Amino acid sequence: KVLTDADYQPARLLTILRALQAEYQHIPIDAIDILADALNIPRTQIIAVVEFYSFLHLTPQGRYDILISDSITDRMQGKENLLGYLSSALKVKAGQVRDDGLVSLNNTSCTGMCDQGPAGLVNGHALTKLDRPRIDEIAALVEQQKPLGEWPPHLFAVDDNIYKAGLLLNGPIENGAAIQATYTRGINNTLEELDRAGLRGRGGAGFKTAMKWRFCAEEPSEQHFVVCNADEGEPGTFKDRVLLNSHAEQVFEGMTIAAAIIGANQGFLYLRGEYLHIFDKLQAILQQRRNAGLLGANILGQGLDFDIEIRLGAGAYICGEESALIESMEGKPGIPRNRPPYPVTSGYLNQPTVVNNVETFLAVAKIAIEGGDWFASFGTEKSAGSKILSICGDCSRPGIYEYPFGVSIEQILADCGASNVLGIQVGGPSGTFISNQEFNRQLAFEDLATGGSFIIFNNSRNILEIVQNFTHFFAHESCGFCTPCRVGTALLKKQLDKIIEGHGSAGDVVELESLCQLVKSNSHCGLGQTAANPILSTLQRYPDVYEKQLKSISYEPGFDLDGSLEIARRMAHRDDAAAHLSQVED
């Protein structure tokens, strides 16, 4: 009932499946058959899509489907206890659907609420600041079968928590001002300004924005596309949520400037499924922009026809990788493509496509107004401008902070109220763990680069628990396409668990490290190439922490073969020395 005729096209398969999931709590097989005929795609392709995305299911979930975020920060805030409490209150185990079909409960990867966790989702809608009173409230509402629309709003309240605004967040720009400035200056001159600004992509990789857009503009094709990547799934990152909640106009303005430069008529905002709570607001803003002549035909009378469509993800971290995101936008599983060709030459529907991060488009709009020199006058030589950080973990003011590049880690810690700090995960699990001996380092592409995640751990935290959470995360989120990552991340998880559980030996640590190198060097995309970073960076800084876990320096098998034969020995009434097996190192 929420779909229109226009939605029935293969590229909108995810939109259709999300609507079916919301209506029936799963994707009925009958619906798959109908869709296969209507969209003229194989039913196996539809099933592959359903199985790929964690928010879609072939078997029914509860009418209230509750997911609890399993990010490290949620764990630090007592998530495990709360999950157990919720499970008892609702009489359903995690990973199961209650017999009466009313409710299902499970874990999910980070929901982008690390500044206000423990967090979760109910039927895709964000729940924040969970504690026992809130869980009692939720359990009662479920038992009363209250429609979500009648639940108290405080359960769904999401705060921006902007504590430090800088170049980009200070003073909103007037609607249309950046587009007008672009046309006043001229399209080519605006591209020159972006070059002078030295703006680099804010997703983490740091490719020069002007160069990317120039490549795309020069690619001969009837159609070009602009895509804003708002699929920030890196645990500890939530800045795009805030930018889109409070600065969406500026982001859309940046996308429109990109369209003018590369010659695109269509843009997309790929919004992570966890941010469903801002979907309607963003749709309304887009409509207001159409009404104001800032989107649609002949924008500001300058001859540019351009519109933006929002595509919602469905719970797959890998879709933050730009080529996986494009696959997902085409209604397929989000499996990263072989590159080259890069999206600028062959992206969405194999047409030249610019994919940039939310923060990058935000910066473009400001540069279009203020000029490249203004932007380049902040930051460092190789990292112009500012960086917006999502800061969370052990600090008294978790939230959004914007700094000129080059700021010291010490300064950031002082601002957010962190003390007794053990270390920081900069750039999320795929980034770098720095110890408290490195706080004089600076935030910049030439030193510590980050897409925006900054998780602080104090001295009470166990490093191995942190690494274990991150390693499990990667094993869970591997898309399974290539063997080094699919098998490698599972082996990393197993090997690390063995050491943490006290069954490891020195040989196991050596094996763990070589496995890390193997996964890093042979994986197809960034997920696999960085999945071992948490282990490698902590092994390097805290070898003693790993050593303390070792049971013996000789080989210790993870599987207790002799212990497993206990039942057989009892059945055979035999417990002499010869009936025991010993496992020794060769």
Examine residue 530 and tell whether it contacts ligand SF4 (CB under 6 A). Answer: no
Minimum CB separation of residue 27 from ligand SF4 in Å reads 23
Examine residue 515 and tell whether it contacts ligand SF4 (CB under 6 A). Answer: no
Minimum CB separation of residue 228 from ligand SF4 in Å reads 22
Q: Which of 480, 494, 541, 549 binds ligand SF4 (CB under 6 A)?
A: 480
Examine residue 206 and tell whether it contacts ligand SF4 (CB under 6 A). Answer: no
Examine residue 482 and tell whether it contacts ligand SF4 (CB under 6 A). Answer: yes
Q: Which of 203, 233, 333, 336 binds ligand SF4 (CB under 6 A)?
A: 336
Minimum CB separation of residue 140 from ligand SF4 in Å reads 40
CB-side neighbour CA atoms (13 Å) of 507: 11
- Tell me the backbone φ, ψ of residue 504, rounded to 5 degrees: -90, 160
Q: Which of 103, 271, 416, 485 binds ligand SF4 (CB under 6 A)?
A: 485
Cα separation, 35 vs 377, in Å, equals 54
Site string for ligand SF4, 370-409 (x = CB under 6 A): ----------------------------------------
Nearest CB to ligand SF4, comparing residues 237 and 478: 478
Q: Which of 348, 433, 470, 481 binds ligand SF4 (CB under 6 A)?
A: 481
Examine residue 244 and tell whether it contacts ligand SF4 (CB under 6 A). Answer: no
**Long-range CB contacts (within 8 A, 24+) of 38-42:** 38/8, 39/8, 39/9, 39/10, 39/13, 40/10, 41/10, 41/13, 41/331
Nearest CB to ligand SF4, comparing residues 198 and 528: 528
Listing DSSP states for 55-107 in one string gives T--SS---SEEEEEE--HHHHHTTHHHHHHHHHHHHT--TTEE-TTSSEEEEE
**Residues 238 and 274: beta-carbon distance below 8 Å:** no
Examine residue 315 and tell whether it contacts ligand SF4 (CB under 6 A). Answer: no
Examine residue 108 and tell whether it contacts ligand SF4 (CB under 6 A). Answer: no
Examine residue 316 and tell whether it contacts ligand SF4 (CB under 6 A). Answer: no
Nearest CB to ligand SF4, comparing residues 133 and 340: 340
Examine residue 476 and tell whether it contacts ligand SF4 (CB under 6 A). Answer: no
Nearest CB to ligand SF4, comparing residues 118 and 336: 336
Nearest CB to ligand SF4, comparing residues 250 and 346: 346
**Residues 118 and 74: beta-carbon distance below 8 Å:** yes
**Residues 259 and 265: beta-carbon distance below 8 Å:** yes
Minimum CB separation of residue 226 from ligand SF4 in Å reads 25
Nearest CB to ligand SF4, comparing residues 483 and 514: 483
Q: Which of 319, 467, 479, 516 binds ligand SF4 (CB under 6 A)?
A: 479
Residue 209 in tokens: 């924005």
**Residues 379 and 401: beta-carbon distance below 8 Å:** no
Nearest CB to ligand SF4, comparing residues 254 and 528: 528
Cα separation, 473 vs 453, in Å, equals 15
Strand residue runs (E) in 439-583: 453-458
Candidates 158-166, 464-472, 477-485, 547-555: pick the segment binding ligand SF4 (CB under 6 A): 477-485
Examine residue 528 and tell whether it contacts ligand SF4 (CB under 6 A). Answer: yes
- Tell me the backbone φ, ψ of residue 82, rounded to 5 degrees: -65, -40
- Tell me the backbone φ, ψ of residue 6, rounded to 5 degrees: -65, -20
**Residues 111 and 126: beta-carbon distance below 8 Å:** yes
Q: Which of 525, 532, 535, 550 binds ligand SF4 (CB under 6 A)?
A: 525
- Which of 475, 455, 477 has the alpha carbon at shortest distance from 466? 455
Q: How many residues at the interface with ligand SF4, by CB under 6 A?
A: 14
Q: Which of 299, 318, 392, 496 binds ligand SF4 (CB under 6 A)?
A: 318
Nearest CB to ligand SF4, comparing residues 203 and 404: 203
**Residues 448 and 432: beta-carbon distance below 8 Å:** yes
Candidates 85-93, 350-358, 367-375, 517-525: pick the segment binding ligand SF4 (CB under 6 A): 517-525
Give CA angle at 201 (54, 175), nearest 5°: 90
**Long-range CB contacts (within 8 A, 24+) of 52-55:** 52/316, 52/333, 52/334, 52/479, 53/14, 53/17, 53/273, 53/313, 53/314, 53/315, 53/316, 53/333, 53/334, 54/108, 54/109, 54/314, 54/315, 54/316, 55/18, 55/21, 55/124, 55/273, 55/314, 55/315
Candidates 212-220, 423-431, 509-517, 519-527: pick the segment binding ligand SF4 (CB under 6 A): 519-527
Examine residue 416 and tell whether it contacts ligand SF4 (CB under 6 A). Answer: no
For residue 296, give the 3-state DSSP assignment: strand
SS3 content of the chain, % helix, strand, coil (to 5): 45, 15, 40
Candidates 132-140, 245-253, 266-274, 473-481: pick the segment binding ligand SF4 (CB under 6 A): 473-481
**Footprint on this chain of ligand SF4 (rule: CB under 6 A):** 318, 336, 478-482, 485-486, 523-525, 527-528
